Amino acid sequence: AVTILGGMTLSTLITLLVVPAAYYLGEKEVKIQPKINKI
């Protein structure tokens, strides 16, 4: 149970870190290269 809980916590922390980073990078790319957004 401890391992499962630890795994869930780790996954949650990774998600909380990766999602905002991916969103920020995505916004940055859209601004720099608007052509990708049209495709």
Cα–Cα distances in Å, from 1 out to 5, 6, 8, 29?
A: 6, 8, 11, 41
pLDDT in tens, the chain (39 residues): 567 777 788 888 888 889 888 888 888 776 666 665 555
Q: What is the pLDDT of residue 10?
A: 84
Q: What is the pLDDT of residue 33?
A: 61
Contacting residues for 36 by C-beta, under 8 A, at least 6 apart:
29, 30
Separation of alpha carbons 30 and 16, rounded Å? 22
Q: What is the pLDDT of residue 34?
A: 60
Residue 33 phi/psi, 5-degree rounding, is -125, 80
**Which pTM does this prediction carry?**
0.43
33 sits in the region (left: phi over 0; alpha: psi -120 to 50; else beta) called beta
